Homo-oligomer: A and B are copies of this chain.
Amino acid sequence: MLRTNTEFLTYIDALYQSNRPEVTLQNFEKDSLLLRQGEKSHRVFVIKEGIAKCFFLEENGKDYILEFMSKGQILGEIEMIKQIDCLCNVAALTSLQVYAIPAPVFKQLLAKDLILNKILLEELAERIINTSSRASFQQLYTVEHGLGKLLELQEKQGMEISKEDMAAYLGITLRSLNRALKGL
């Protein structure tokens, strides 16, 4: 659930190193927003260091966290591919260092570079696997079951998530999360 992609990071590192002055390295501080749901974006980001969360803000005011993203994850590529406004918000959970690639550069690469296409296809495929498995699991199993998995992964990855974010990831209220934590 903390997604990474070393292959992609290597690819972008190389791109940055090469003759591509349009690709820049940027910093975002903790809690800042990289992408804002519903707004247009004119670049994609690739995380070099740090952790971000992608989340929907629904009309009823509730959040739903889709993924926690880390090294080598790309942000905003779906919007670029489909030519749409930002699907969800992306916020920095820690301070972030990211590569920023302007839309024209990214689109040109997409149109010409089979390596990038391959990496992206694999990444999108993996996200579909994750997202759909999780949707199924969350609908069909109890909260405690899902919470168990979340705590496991969290421990394994040594990352700490606020309770609010845990609840948003599980799609439940804070109250329910507290109850589930009691019930271990």
A residues contacting B by CB (< 8 A) are 56, 58, 60, 62, 64, 66, 77-78, 81-82, 84, 87-88, 110-112, 114, 117-118, 120-122, 124-129, 131-141, 171-172
Which A-B residue pairs are the 9 nearest by beta carbons? A139-B171, A64-B136, A135-B135, A124-B124, A117-B117, A56-B136, A81-B125, A78-B125, A62-B140
Do A87 and B121 have beta carbons less than 8 Å apart? no
Do A131 and B128 have beta carbons less than 8 Å apart? yes
Residue among B117, B124, B171 making CB contact with A125, cutoff 8 Å: B124
Residue among B82, B110, B139 making CB contact with A138, cutoff 8 Å: B139
Do B78 and A135 have beta carbons less than 8 Å apart? no
